[in-house]
Structure 1
Amino acid sequence: MAAALATTPPTASAAVVLPPGPALSPSADSSFWGTNGRVVDIVSNGTKAWIAGGFDYVGPNTGRAVTVDSSTGTRIPSSNIVDGTVNASAPDGKGGYYLAGDFSRVSDLRRQGLAHIKSDGTVDRGWPASAVTTTVIVGGVAKAQTGSVRSIAVAGDRLIIGGEFDAVNGVPSARLAAIGLDGNVISTWHASANATVNALAVAGDKVYVGGSFTTVNGAARTYLSRVQLLDGATDPTFPVSTNGPVYALDVQGGATSAQDTVKVGGDFTSVTSSGAVTTRTRLAAVAGSGAVLSWAPPANGTVRAIASDSATGTTFVGGTFSQLGGQNRTQLGALTSSGVPTGFDASLSGCQAPHTLKSTNTLPSCTVEVQALQITAGTLYVGGVFTTSQGSLRHDAAAYSVATGRLTSWLPMPGARVRTFTSLGATTVMGGDFVSTGGQYRRGVAKIDLATGTLDPTFRADADNMVLDLELTADRTRLYLAGTFMAVNGVVRQRVAAVDATTGALVTSFAPQVNQGVYTIAVRQSYVYLGGQFTAIGTVARQHAARISAVNGSVDTTWTANTNGPSGSPYQGGMVLSLAVAPDNSRVFLAGPFKTVNGVALPDGIAALSGTSGALLPKQLGGVHSCSTQHWVVALKISDDGKRLYGGDVCPDWIYQWDAVNLSQTKAYGLNWSTACNAGMQGTLEVNGTFYYGSHGGDKGSGGYCWQSPTVHTRISQQRFFAFRASDGALTAYAPQFDSPMGVWSFAAVPQGLLVGGDFTIAGNRNTVAQGLTLFRGTP
C-alpha cells in the first residue's frame, strides 16, 4: 500500500539553490554510479536525485572486464577499466590473463583490441601486442582504427587470435594471427581468412577455426577450417565445411588429431565432409578425421556457445534458440553424450537492451540469449542477456551446479551482456558489453544518494516500459511519472503515475487511464499537465494535451488545448512532444508537430496558451526555422523564474530563447536570441546565467558544432554537450566529451555539481568510463 499522503498536493518543485564554489571540473567523477541505459530526465531535492529512462540497472562504473570471486561473484577491486567490448579472454598460464575485443584503452593506457593482465592484476605495460587494427576509408583516405578480436586461444608458446582486423602492431594479419607470449607477432605463422573469424580451439598441434569466411589461406573453406599450430598452414586432412556461419567450437582432443571430437555451433543447416552433405541444424559433431558423427541434436535458433563437461559427458549449449533436441529450452540446455536433452532447465527470462538511434519513447526490442559458457570444478558459468533464472534475479550472469542443475549463490550482477569467462581458480574473469558489475535492479526509475553517488536502496518504483518525464513536488514528498509504461511496481498504471518520493510506493488515489503515450508533464499547484500522443483520458476526449487533478487524476474540463496535425510519422496526428508551464500557472507552452490548437491554425509548432482555459493567447511565439516541410519545436525548457523559454527545432537544429512573459508583444516573434547547432535539443538546464544543452550531435571534428554566438557564425567544433551564456547565446568554453550517437538527454544542478544523463558510456574525456549518468563536480 502507498504511504498516506495529503489530499491537496504541493506545488511544483522550486529550483535548487547552489552556493558559490569552484568552477565545474571538465572531468567526470568515475565513482558516481551509472545505469545500463538511457537517462532521459533527472530531478533533485538537493540531497537525492531521481532519474528516469530506459534502464533496468544502477551500479558502479567498473569497465567491461572484471575479476570476481568464483564462489560469490563479489568483484575484486581493480583499476583496470576497459573502455570497449570484451569478446574473449584466456589464462596466460602464470596467474594472469589476456583480454580481447573492440576496446581502445585499459584505464590510461592505449590498448587496441588486445591486452595482457599480469598475475598481480596490473596491465602489462611492456607487452607490445596492443594495436590490433583494421583499415577503413574515410573521405577517400585510408585510416587505421581499432580492430575487433572475437576469439583467442593459448597454446604452448603462443596466443592465436581471430576476428575482424588486418594488422597487429603494423604487421599484416588478415583476421588471424599468432603472437608470442612475449607480445611479439610471430612472423613465421601465416594464416588468413577472407571474413570474420568467430571461434578458435586448439587441440594438439592443430587450430580449429570457425567464422563467416569462405576462404582460408586463399583456398575454399566455408565457415570451418583447421590449420597447423606451428605455421598456420591449412590442414588438408580436415575437409569439413558448413553452409552457414560458425560461432562456437568445443574440441575434445584425441590421441591423434584424427581422433579429435569437434562440436560445432552456429547458423547452419548442413555439414559437408569430403563432398558428402549431411543435415545438421545449428549443431554438429565431427571427428578430427572429417567424419560427421551421429551426435545431431537440432536447435531452432542460433547457437553461440558450447561447453562439455569431461566428468559427466554432458554438453551445455547456449544461444538464441527456444528448442533444443526437440525439447523446449530457452536459450540454454544440456545434452547427453548421445545428444539427448537432459532435464536441466535454466528457465531464463527477461532482458534489457540499450537504445541505439531510435525507439526513443519505448524500450528497444530485446531477445534473451546466452553468449558465454564455462565449466570449472563442477560449476557451469553462464553469461548473456537475461534478467532471471529459475525464478531468481540473475542479471546477465548465473552459475549452476553441473550435478544438480540448480542455481548457485554466485551473483556478480553485471549491467549488460556477458561474452566471456576465464577461470583463475578462486577468481573468474568476466568480460562483455557491460560497464558495471555489482549493482542493483531498478527499472525505469531510480533514486541516487548525492552524498555517496550510489543507489538509494529504500526507493523502488519499477516500470514495465519507458519513463520519459519526472516531476517532483515542492515539498519533495511526491514524484509524478510519465511515459509509455503500463504498470509500476506490478500494479496497472496507464502511462502516468504518482509515487511516494521516499519509498516509491504508488499513490493509490492517483490512477488516470491515458490511452497512448505521455511524453511530457508539468506539475503546478493542484494540477498535472500532460502532453503526448494520447487522444483520451478515461472516457474524456483530449487530443494530445490535458490538465488533470494532481490528487486523483481526473480531467480538468475547464482547460482544453486539443492539438491536431497531419497523420502518419513523424506527425502522429499533431502530438505534443514537450510542454512548459510558468511558475505562476499563468501561461502554458506546447511544442510538437501540430498545425492547430483548438481548431486555430498555428504553423510554427509552438503555442502559448492561457493557464486558465487553454485558449491561445493573443500574442504568440515564432521564428522557427524549417527543413523542407518540417517546421516545429521538439523540446522546451522554461527558466526557474519564468522569464525565458528555450526551444529547439526538429530541423535544422536551431536553439531559441524567447521572452516567456511578454511573448511577441515587444519584439519580433518574442525572440531574445537564436543560434544554430548541428545538434538537436535533448537535455536542457538554465542555472547561474548558463544554459546547458545536451544533444545527439555529430562527433567533434566530424560534424559536431555550434555557432560561436547568434551574431558570430563561426562554427565551434564540439559534440553532444554545449554551454551558452543565457544572456546572449554566446558559446562558452566548457565542453566535456561524450560518446554514443544519441549523446546527452538530461541535466540537473545539485550541490555537488552538474548531473548529466544520457546514452553515453564515456564521459568528460576518453579515459573515464561512465554509463547513463555522471557527475561533474563544481558549481554549474
Structure 2
Amino acid sequence: MVLSLTLGLTQTIQAQIPNEPLETFVVTDGQVNALAINSNMLYFGGQFNFVGARTGSGVPVTATTGQAEAVYPSINGDVFTAVNDGQGGWFVGGSFSVAGGFLRTNLVHIRSDRTVDPNWAPVVAGGRVYSLILSAGTLYVGGGFTNVSGQTRNRLAALDSSSGALLSWNPNANSNVRTMALTSSNMYIGGEFTTLGAQTRNHIGAVDLTMGQLAAWNPGAGDWVYAMTLSAGHLYVGGYFTSMSGQSRGYAASFDLSTGSLDSWNPGASSDVWALDAYQNVIFMGGLFTAAGGSNRTNIAAVDATTGLATSWDARLSINSGGSWVTALKVYSNALYVGGIFQSIGGQPREMAAALDLTTANATAWDAKVNLQAWAFAGAGNTLYLGGQFGAAGCVTRTNLAAFDLLSGRVTSWSPSVAVRNGVPVNAMVIASNALFIGGYFNTVGGLTRSNLASLDLNTGAVLDWSPNPYNATIYSLATWSDRLFVGGTFNNISGIAQNYFAEFDLSTLMLTGWNPFVSGFVQAMAVDGDTLYIGGNFGTVSGQTRRRVATFDLTSETLTSWDAGLTTGQFVDAITVSSGKVYLGGYFSVINGSNRTNFVALDASTAQVLPLVANCDQPIYALAASSNYVFLGGNFRLINGQSRPFLVALDANANALTSWIPGPDQYPKSLRVQGNTLYSGGWFLHAGGETTISLAAFPLGLMGNPYIVTNSMQRPVSSAPQFRLVALGIPQASVLGSTNLNNWQLLQSVPLVDGNGQFVDTDSTTRPKRFYRISVP
C-alpha cells in the first residue's frame, strides 16, 4: 500500500472552544486577581512569590543544581511517581492525558533521548497512577485506576516493560493503592483499600509476584497507609493510622520480614506520615507532624531504624502561613531530596523542593525552583526526574506583581515588588499613559511607601511619583476614559480629601478632579463603553438618587443617567462587562427589573431591559469577559441552570444558551480578559481542562496557527492499520479525509484533540492499494 500525507484546511462554522488551555503560558505559586495586556505583554497581580513559564509537571533536572534540561517531553497533568527504566529514561505515572504531544493516559515511557516511546502506550483509565516499581522486565503499577488497556484491573496491574503488554498479575484492590514495596517473593501494598483479592485486608497486604495471589500476611492498619520503604530485612510503613496489628502505633510502624510480625519500633509521630526512605540505619520520615522520635521535628525527621528515636539531624523546615508539609522523600546521589509545601528548609529559602545533606541536614545548592509541591524523584546518572503538581520549574522570584511576554513565552525582568498586608495585595490594574496603575491592599511598592494605589512605568517597573494614599482602604476596581482614571473601593479619603468609594483623577496631572457622584457604598466593579461609565458594588444611592448596586454615568457631562437595572434583591455587583449593545452583570443577586436572575443577568445597554440570556448560578460571580460570540463567567458556582458547570463557563451570546465548554478549574477565577483570539483567566486554581496550570490559564477561542500532520509519526505496524499523529491548536477536533487520486476526498474520521494533539488510525486501509490523507478543520 502507498501512503502519502498532504494538508488541506477548510474553514467552516465557528469551532467549539477546547477545554484545555494553551500549553505555552505562565504560572505562579499563589493567587492572581488582576490582569492587564499591553501589546504582547501580559501584566498580572495578586498574592504570589514565584513565577515561571509552564514546563509541565515532570522535568528532568541535574542532581547537583536542579537546573532543568532544555529538551524533554512536557506532561500536561500531575506526576505522582516515576521510576528509572534502567536505560537512562523513566516510566512516569500520574494524572495526565498528553506527554510530549502523544496521547498517554496516566502512564508514559520517556526514553533516554528524552522522547516519548511511540510504541509503548498502555492506557491506564479510571483513576490516577500513584506508585511504580520496575523489576526483571515487569513494571508494577498501583493507583486509583480500574482499567488497563481495555481490561479490568482494579488499582493494581503489571506490564511488560518492553512492549507495554498487560500481564496476568491481578491482585484486585477495592480502593486506592498509594504505595508498594518489593521483595524477592512478595509485593507489599499500602493504601485506602479494605480488600485485596476479595478478601479483607485493611489498608495493607502482600501478594505474590506471578499472579498476584494474596499472601496470608494480614497485619491490618487502623487507617490508610501512604508510604513504604525497605531496610535491612524490615518493612517500614507510614500513613494516617494510629494502630497496626491491633497495637498502638503513631502514624509509622515496621515489620520483621522474616516473620511478618510487627516490630517494637514506634517513633510516635504526632500526625500523618506521607513519605519514607532509608539510609544506613536511619529512616527519614515526611508528612504533617510537629514531633517524631521523641523530639520536636516539623514535618520531616530522621529516626533510628532500630530504636525509633530521633537523631540529631534536623531539617528546620519553617511553617508557611497557609500551612506546610512534606509529600516526597528520596535518597539519591548522597543527598535527601524533599518535596512538599514549604518555603524554607535546611537553613535556606527553598520553594516546594530541596536537597538536604545526609549528615548535617543543611540545604545543598540544588534548587529546582518549582511553584508547587514535588511528589516524585527518580534518578538516572547525574539526572533526576522531578515530578509533582507544579506547573513550572526554574521559576523566578516575583512579589505579587509580574509581566510575561506572550510572544517569547518568557517571564520578563520587570519586577516591582508589592508588600503584603492582611489581604490580597493587588486586586485591580489598568494601563494608561505608558503606566500600569495598580490597586489593592498594600503599603509599599518597589520599596517605596504606597498605600493601596500606585502607578509604575510599563517598561522599567519604576514606581512613579504619585501617592494618593486612599486611607485604610482596599481598592477593588480601576478604569480609564480619555484622560481620566477612575478608582473604586472602600475608601473615605483619597489624596487628603474626604471622598467616599469613588474618585476621578486627571491622567495628565494625576490630580483629583472635582467630580464626586456621592456613591453610598463600596465600588467593586467598573466598565467603560463609549462615553458611558458603569459602576457596581454594594451601594444603594448615587448622586442622591436610588441606584441599587449598579449605576451609569454620562462621562461627557459627568452626570448620572436614567439607566436603572432595578436590582431589588441582592447584596452586590462584583463584575461588569459590555459588548455589542449588551451589559452583563455578575455578583450576588436574584431579582433584576422584576425578572428572576440569580447572580448573572444580561441587560440592554440602552433601555436596561432584561434580555433572554439566562444563566442562573448557585453561587456568586466574581469575573466576566465577553467576545463577539461568547460571554464568560467566573465565580464560586458549581451549577448553571441546574447543570454542573464548576467555576468557569461560556454562554453563547447569539443563541442565548449555555455552551458545552467545560474547562473545569478546581477553584474559581477572579479575573477574566478576552484579548484577540484568547481568553485569559487568573485566580487560585491548580488545574484547568485537566492540566496543571496554577493560577493562570489561557484558552484559545479558535484555531491558532496552521494544523499539521506529524510526518515522522506515520507508522504501519505489521498486520495493523496505518496511523499518524496530527496537531491543530485551539480546536477540540479535526477531520481526516482520504483520497486515492487527490481529486475526490471522503471523510475518514473525526479525531478528538487533547491539547491540540490527536491520533488517527485508518482501520479501512486494508481495502485500498494506496491512500492520501489531509486534515480539515473548522
Is the pair's TM-score, using the shorter chain for normalization, greater than 0.5? yes
Counterpart for residue 165 of structure 1: 145
Question: CA deviation digits over 1:45-103, x for unaligned, max 9?
Answer: 43533112354332222211111111221222345222221111112223222111122
1:155 and 2:135 aligned: yes
Amino acid at match of 1:281: G
TM-superposed deviation, 1:270 = 2.2
Per the alignment, residue 522 of structure 1 pairs with 479
Using the alignment, how far apart are the partners of 1:206 and 1:323 within structure 2?
Answer: 33
- Paired amino acid for 1:133: A
- Report Cα offsets for 1:708-758 as digits up to 9, x if no partner: 62xx54x363437xxxxxxxxxxxxxxxx78556468332647xx656233
Does residue 348 of structure 1 match 2:282? no
Deviation at 1:375, TM superposition (A): 0.8
Q: TM-score, normalised by structure 2?
A: 0.74
Whole-angstrom CA distance in 2 between matches of 1:44 and 1:85: 29
Pair 1:632–1:33, CA change in 2 (3 A): closer
**What is the CA–CA distance in structure 2 between the aligned matches of 1:386 and 1:770, rounded to whole Å?**
16
Q: Does 1:590 align with 2:535?
A: yes
Change (3 A) 1:647 1:228: same
Amino acid at match of 1:521: L
Tell me which residue corresponds to 1:757: 681
How does the TM-score come out when normalised to structure 1? 0.74
SS in 1 for 2:336: strand
Deviation at 1:249, TM superposition (A): 0.8
CA 1:492–1:318: 2 relative to 1, 3 Å: farther
Q: Give unpaired runs (5+ residues) of structure 2.
A: 1-13, 589-596, 706-729, 731-778
Aligned partner of 1:668 in structure 2 is 607
Partner of 1:607: 551
Shift, 1:378, TM fit: 0.8
Match of 1:286 in 2: 255
How far did 1:502 drift? Answer: 4.0
* CA distance in 2: counterparts of 1:296 and 1:541, whole angstroms: 65
Contact 1:527 1:550 survives alignment (8 Å): yes
Residue aligning to 2:222:
243
2:125 to 126, 129, 133: 133
Counterpart position of 1:61:
54
Q: Of residues 432, 456, 463 in structure 2, which corresponds to 1:474?
A: 432
Selected match of 1:512 from 469, 480, 485: 469
1:3 equivalent in structure 2: none
Asked if structure 2 preserves the Cα contact closer than 8 Å seen for 1:349 and 1:389, the reply is yes
Distance in 1, Cα, partners of 2:289 & 2:497:
45
Shift of 1:261: 0.9
User: Cα offset for 1:297?
Assistant: 2.0
**Shift, 1:686, TM fit:** 7.2
Equivalent of residue 185 in structure 2, options 194, 200, 205: 205
Q: Who is 1:301 aligned against?
A: 271
The structure with the largest strand share of the pair is: 2
Q: Secondary structure at the match of 2:213?
A: coil
Change (3 A) 1:383 1:120: same
Q: Following superposition of structure 1 onto structure 2, how do residues 225-244 of structure 1 map, counting pairs within 5 Å?
A: 225-236=205-216, 238-244=217-223
Query: 1:120 Cα shift?
Result: 2.6
Would you say 1:100 and 2:93 are equivalent positions?
Answer: yes
Distance (Å, rounded) in 2 between the aligned partners of 1:491 and 1:242: 56
Structure 1 residue 523: Cα displacement: 5.3
What amino acid is the match of 1:245?
A: W
Counterpart AA for 1:160: Y
Distance 1:168 1:460 in 2: 50
After TM superposition, give the deviation of residue 406 of structure 1 in Å.
2.0
Contact in 2 for aligned 1:622/1:669 (Cα 8 Å): yes
Q: How does 1:530-549 map to 2 (within 5 A)?
A: 530-532=487-489, 544-546=501-503
**CA deviation string 1:504-524 (max 9, x = no partner):** 455576262544543212356
Q: Spell out the pairing of 1:645-684 with structure 2 (5 A cutoff).
A: 647-648=585-586, 650=588, 651-652=597-598, 654=600, 656=602, 659=605, 668-669=607-608, 675-677=613-615
Task: For residue 462 of structure 1, report the CA deviation from its aligned partner.
Answer: 4.0
Change (3 A) 1:542 1:316: farther
Q: 1:88 aligns with which of 65, 81, 91?
A: 81
The answer as to 2:116 corresponding to 1:123 is: yes
1:746 maps to which residue? Answer: 672
Pair 1:385 & 2:302 matched: no
Q: Partner of 2:723 in structure 1?
A: none
* Deviation sequence 1:112-143 (CA, Å, 0-9, x none): 2222222332222322422x223xxxxxxxxx
The C-alpha deviation readout for 1:294-344, integer Å capped at 9, x for no partner, is: 43222223111111113xx22221112233334333322222343333343
SS of the aligned residue for 1:428 comes to strand
Judged with a 3 Å threshold, the aligned counterparts in structure 2 of structure 1 residues 761 and 271 are, in CA distance, closer, same or farther, namely closer
Kept in 1, the 8 Å contact 2:94–2:130? The answer is: yes
> Which residue among 516, 520, 525 is the counterpart of 1:578?
525
Q: Which residue of 1 aligns with 2:759?
A: none
1:295 & 1:491 partners in 2: Cα distance? 56
Aligned Cα RMSD in Å?
A: 4.2
Kept in 2, the 8 Å contact 1:512–1:553? The answer is no
How far 1:207 sits from its partner (Å)?
A: 1.4
> Which residue of 2 is the match for residue 184 of structure 1?
165
Equivalent residue of 1:375, what SS? strand
SS at 2:608's partner residue? helix
Is the 2:252–2:268 contact (alpha carbons within 8 Å) kept by the matching residues of 1?
yes
Aligned equivalents of 2:148, 2:361: Cα separation in 1: 42
1:319-334 → structure 2 map (5 Å cutoff): 319-334=287-302
Q: Provide the C-alpha distance between the structure 1 equivalents of 2:496 and 2:378, rounded to a whole number of angstroms.
A: 58
Amino acid aligned to 1:178: A
1:510 is paired with a residue of what secondary structure?
coil
Q: Given residue 261 of structure 1, which amino acid in structure 2 is its aligned partner? A: H
Deviations 1:508-546 (A, max 9, x none): 762625445432123568976443456777998766545
Q: Deviations over 1:362-394 (max 9, x none)?
A: xxx832121111111211111112233345442
Superposition pairs of residues 429-508 of structure 1, within 5 angstroms? 429-464=385-420, 466-472=424-430, 474-477=432-435, 479-485=436-442, 488=445, 495-506=452-463
| Residue of structure 2 aligned with 1:428, choices 359, 377, 384 | 384
- Write the letter of the residue equivalent to 2:651: C
Aligned residue in 1 for 2:765 = none
Secondary structure of 1:420 counterpart: strand
Equivalent positions of 1:4-83 (< 5 A) are 30-36=23-29, 39-46=32-39, 48-83=41-76
Question: Structure 1 residues 556, 343: closer, same or farther in 2, change over 3 A?
Answer: farther
Alignment: residue pair count: 666
Cα distance in 2 for partners of 1:674, 1:180 equals 58
CA contact (8 A) 1:41 1:747 kept: no
Relative to structure 1, the CA distance from residue 270 to residue 118 in structure 2 (aligned partners, 3 Å threshold; closer, same or farther) is same
The residue identity in structure 2 corresponding to 1:601 is T
Q: In the aligned structure 2, how far is the partner of 1:655 from the partner of 1:244? A: 48
Equivalents in 1 of 2:76, 2:99: separation in Å?
6
CA distance in 2, matches of 1:708, 1:588: 22
1:636 is matched with which residue? 576
The change in CA–CA distance for 1:377 and 1:768 in structure 2 (over 3 A counts) is: closer
